[in-house]
Chains A and B, each alone.
Chain A
């Protein structure tokens, strides 16, 4: 049973560019959450998708947007990249957002470097 997978593993972009990160949830899971983990910091919640809609959102600007597909996979898009967007982006999947959020399974992350 595959766990949460993310692609790509690493990515280098230039300031002002746009980037798309992808996540496939654990088999059977229908909810996807995205977190940003800056170097030396704990993960910070970006948003959560359920039934192809954004259900909750953290304190991130509109440059950060997402999408969930009918197969429950998800994309995170970041526009007009800033140097400060350099971080590890983690995807987590879970069943039913009505359940306690701690039942989340995390992927290995995508390391984004903005130059």
Chain B
């Protein structure tokens, strides 16, 4: 079955510390992978996406993610977190011919001063 797992429901990091949010997926075909961020009461903003090629992808706001096929993972990283990064982060997987994405349940990030 196709699924996305984000093992961490809530993470708290100190401002300036590094961040890694985990995402594991199960998908029968070649996956297209995405990370979205959602602030409270807002829509989803695309941070980055992976289709093919270089397995390390760069996104907006200083985020990057690495696709590891052997581990079925697509973890999101940021070297130095800012207070404005506090939000909920969603990993999603889809296929090129599929219209819909499958989302994880999200990881809520809190940033302490």
Q: Do A and B come from one complex?
A: no
